[in-house]
Amino acid sequence: MKRVLIAGVGNILLGDDGVGPYVVRKLAANYVFEDGVELEDLGTPALDFIDHITGLDALIVVDAVNNGEPAGTITLYRKEDLTRQVSGVRMDPHSPALRESLLAAEWFGGSPKDVTLVGVSGESFSARCVLSEPVQAAVERAMRQILIALSRIGVGFVRQFAESPARTWWMRKPGEVQA
């Protein structure tokens, strides 16, 4: 059994930054995965990300990216792409997240060999709980990239016959009751 984590990362309160948690919850509602696969909405982790990734065989992260591409573009990053850049002076504890957790896990042992970041270029990161149109339209493609990444490492999944509602509670409008 392979230990795999599919982690949605990002702030659900800040527009397109919430695409990671959204995609993961959507996947969880539509697919059943082999034992050993965990799906988690990790929100905005800092160094505690290390604890989630240590000991994994493979890590798939889905997150908004800021890479200058048009909104909704999907870019895949491998481990080397994520760890190559060296951070400089850090002012607050938010900055460590992904890059430094990977470096730290690498350094202390237990870093997943296979790392994929499914990056979705965002359009708007202002305070609201919905995705922009181009990012919403990219959700299906982001999910497909995650499934391809799973297939590549030989991890199985099946699509559920009937779609269940994704537990994206933050997208409800005030006063709206969840179905």
Per DSSP bridges, beta strands 114-121 and 58-65 are: parallel
Q: Which of 32, 30, 9, 1 is nearest to 115 (CA)?
A: 9
Residues within window 35-54 making contact with other proteins, judged by CB under 8 A? 40-48, 50-51
Tell me how far, at minimum, the Cβ of 70 lies from other proteins, in Å: 15
Binding other proteins by CB under 8 A: which of 117, 138, 149, 150?
117
Binding other proteins by CB under 8 A: which of 55, 76, 94, 144?
94
Tell me how far, at minimum, the Cβ of 126 lies from other proteins, in Å: 7
Largest CA distance in the chain: 50
Q: Which is nearer to other proteins, 159 or 173 (CB)?
A: 173
> Could you tell me if 17 and 64 are in contact, meaning their C-beta atoms sit under 8 angstroms apart?
yes
Examine residue 70 and tell whether it contacts other proteins (CB under 8 A).
no
Using alpha carbons, list the distances in angstroms from residue 101 to 34, 54, 115, 157.
Answer: 26, 9, 12, 28
Tell me how far, at minimum, the Cβ of 61 lies from other proteins, in Å: 8
Using alpha carbons, list the distances in angstroms from residue 72 to 10, 124, 141, 145.
Answer: 15, 11, 9, 13
Here's the x/- map for other proteins, 123-152, by CB under 8 A: it reads as --xxxxx-----------------------
Q: Which is nearer to other proteins, 3 or 99 (CB)?
A: 99
Binding site for other proteins (CB under 8 A): 9-14, 16-17, 20, 40-48, 50-51, 63-67, 77, 81-82, 85-100, 103-104, 107-108, 117, 119, 122, 125-129, 169-170, 174-175
